[in-house]
Chain A
Amino acid sequence: MVIIKVTIVVVAAFLLITISQRIFPWLAERFSGRHRLYVLASVPFLRLIIIVVAVWMIISSIIEPTIENFFALLGALGLALGFAFKDYASSLIAGIVTLYEIPYRLGDWVSVEGAYGEVKSIGMRSFEIITPDDTVVVIPHLKLWDKKIFNSNDGSRNLQCAADFYLHPNHNPKAVIEALLDTALTSSYLQVQKPINVVASEKPWATQYRLKAYPVEPRDQFRFITELTVRGKEALAELGVDFPAPYAQPLDQF
């Protein structure tokens, strides 16, 4: 009888989690902007609630839910899992940690060990991102313990983009900066309220300018960077600025 009850609870919890992980992202696609992010962010919380309720129902059906029994059970489980499924258990625990630390949410743009993309689903053991090349990358939560996780927008719609320009050092920097600022300011993808910055640095073979600005919609980041690059180069070419040839040797005169 207990086994049947536990099985029912596990199956029900699994089904509820699976359904919520499918329905909420589907629902989120019907929204846009911040409403989409709110819907996506509710998925892990719902999953946490389902897991807690399911675990409590299982424990209370197997043993009398006293403090002593609870700790004894946890100790036994910890010992077994520690030996048999170390990495799996580590990912599961990291998955629970992500629920309150929230290093990434659905809809965030993250980079983990060179893989960059939008978080499309967060499971109990791993999460999935879709790269700009439409490739799904499955990343176990245990990366949380010892790897750097770069989150570009951290739950907001503010995702900074940068377009790089490499110019022959013989140019008028003030005119270049003005042209690049206007390139960003006139981009249709720009989030006008956010700051636009131009950062210059000298390289052995060119002067690098980084044009930094925010698109209205994080999903448009690659279109935005493309537009900044194309229109920026047009504007710079009209100023008479030369671009160094690709793979050029370091310039003798600098």
Chain B
Amino acid sequence: MEHTEQKRQLWRYVPLSDYVVPQATMSRSIKGGIRGLWQRLRVAKEKSEDPQKPESDLQQIPNIILEKIAPNTDWQLPVGYLKAALDDRFGAEPNETTTFLVVGLPHGGNAKILTALARELEWPLITEPSPEQILSRDHSWLKQIEKQDTPWVVPALERCYLRHVHGLTLVRQMFEKINTGTMGSGIIGCDSWALAYLKHVVPDRLPDALVAQAFDDSRITWWFDQLASTRFQKPIVFRQTDNGKLVLPVEPAQADPDITGIETSAFINQLAAHSRGIPGIALCFWRKALRKEPDKTMTNTSLSETPSDMKTTLWVLPWDKLDHPVLPSSISPESSILLHNLLLHNGLSKGVLAKILPFSSNVITKMALVLKDAGLVEENEGMWKVSPLGYPIVRQYLNGEGYLTDQF
């Protein structure tokens, strides 16, 4: 059992070899199955005692309230933990020029965290080269890093290369200079998929790397609890709609007599395993699963206007009832290639896709729209990315098809 303090340290930066992907435990699955069977048998006799909520009786939570219960991740929070992890390593070799990789998973907010770190430490933030600069092998981009006399930060290495014959030169030269010590000290943020590819591209030794440890069951539980209590400022009980079990366990000291003794559901365990412990993805599924009881007197803001000593109960859809994106039955090999390249670069514009893929712009647009309709990709300011809800299924699919995947 993990120590409570460790459990509550949401962000822990560890070497890549220490990264642990959360798993849906076998014993939990078996126990869940037996318990589920028992529950079904018991329900027939004690139906009236079970606080089940048919989905039709529940409503989606308005965004304005959702922002209070499960707000978007504040990427400033992990900065302190990352700084401490880097201090340990920079401090270990004070006289040497040192460069570290900070690896992030898709929707893990790595580039945002590193940007926030650079601002806090007032280190120069090196913006990514444009696709044209990458393809023309523009050395001025590298020279601006060499000129720095303080440690620098490149927040997204995945934006510094392209899977094109001319798209690898810049990143190779960068690591060559890093290894010869001409670039000074710096921090490089790198997406996990880009790292998997660049290991085959860069002949030089890659710098030591850190990665934020995955959010396991206990971290996700504590995190969601904190998110809800910080901004909502009154106790909320999260219960599963089909069996009334608690989704987030309540501390014994705060437990209400009417919820004392209620078991905890396996929802968070399944969520952690499915989202592979990536906070951005776990939060999206969490927001999607939350429901509230309709109340004629309740307006969009009335949840926060109830007396602060009253507990609010919110309902969570069972994991199996959640509407997961699915791969289109007619997914083509070309679509697989598109998805793979989007992940290797953590998103690409349509113009760049047309340059690196062996398909015409029309074909790319058609494929991208089909995948968007299926909820697997999303477009934001001209950049196409694999969506947070679609990432787990896309990763599983590409892995099964034999494509290179990240190690996490």
Contacts and interface: CB of A to CB of B under 8 A. Distances in A.
A188 B340 contact: yes
B143 interface: no
A39 interface: no
B358 A216 contact: no
A185 B200 contact: yes
A33 B400 contact: yes
A217 interface: yes
A121 interface: no
A77 to B, nearest CB: 46
B163 A186 contact: yes
B58 interface: no
Which 9 A-B residue pairs are closest in the complex by CB-CB distance?
A: A192-B404, A188-B337, A33-B401, A235-B165, A186-B163, A227-B358, A216-B402, A182-B165, A33-B400
Interface residues of B, number: 20
A179 interface: yes
Contacts of A234: 165
Contacts of A186: 163-165, 167-168, 356
Contacts of B201: 185
A240 to B, nearest CB: 15
B173 to A, nearest CB: 13
Given A188-B340, A217-B333, A193 B358 contact: no
A217 B402 contact: yes
Contacts of A32: 400-401
B165 A188 contact: no
A152 interface: no
Interface in B155-211: 163-165, 167-168, 197, 200-201
B356 A188 contact: yes
A81 B252 CA distance: 84
Contacts, number: 53
Contacts of B357: 188
B341 interface: yes
Interface of B: 163-165, 167-168, 197, 200-201, 333, 337, 340-341, 356-358, 400-404
Nearest to A193: B404
A227 B400 CA distance: 24
Contacts of A33: 400-402
A231 interface: yes
A182 B165 CA distance: 6
Contacts of B165: 179, 182-183, 186, 231, 234-235
A71 to B, nearest CB: 49
B170 to A, nearest CB: 13
Given A179-B165, A185-B168, A188-B341, A217 B358 contact: no
Nearest to A223: B358
Contacts of B197: 192
A126 interface: no
B337 A189 contact: yes
6 contacts: A33-B401, A185-B200, A186-B164, A186-B165, A217-B333, A217-B401
A5 interface: no
B300 to A, nearest CB: 46
Interface string A164-207: 00000000000000010011011111011100000000000000
A185 B200 CA distance: 8
Contacts of B167: 186
Q: Which of A33, A186, A188 has the most CB of B within 10 A?
A: A188
Nearest to A179: B165
Nearest to B338: A188
Given A185-B168, A185-B200, A235-B165, A34 B402 contact: yes
Contacts of A235: 165
A67 to B, nearest CB: 49
Contacts of A231: 165, 358
Contacts of B404: 191-193
A35 interface: yes
Given A182-B168, A223-B358, A188 B400 contact: no
A165 B340 CA distance: 28
Contact of B163 (A35, A188, A193, A216): A188
A220 B334 CA distance: 10
A188 B167 CA distance: 13
Nearest to A158: B402
A80 to B, nearest CB: 49
Given A157-B402, A188-B337, 14 more contacts: A33-B402, A34-B400, A34-B402, A185-B200, A185-B201, A186-B164, A186-B165, A188-B340, A189-B337, A216-B401, A216-B403, A220-B333, A227-B358, A234-B165
A188 B402 contact: no
Contacts of A189: 337, 358
Which residue among B167, B200, B333 has the maximum number of chain A CB atoms within 10 Å of its CB? B333
Interface in A211-236: 216-217, 219-220, 223, 227, 231, 234-235
A188 B358 contact: yes
B335 to A, nearest CB: 12
Interface in A1-35: 32-35
A114 B206 CA distance: 47
A189 to B, nearest CB: 7
B397 to A, nearest CB: 9
A35 B400 CA distance: 9
Interface in A116-161: 157
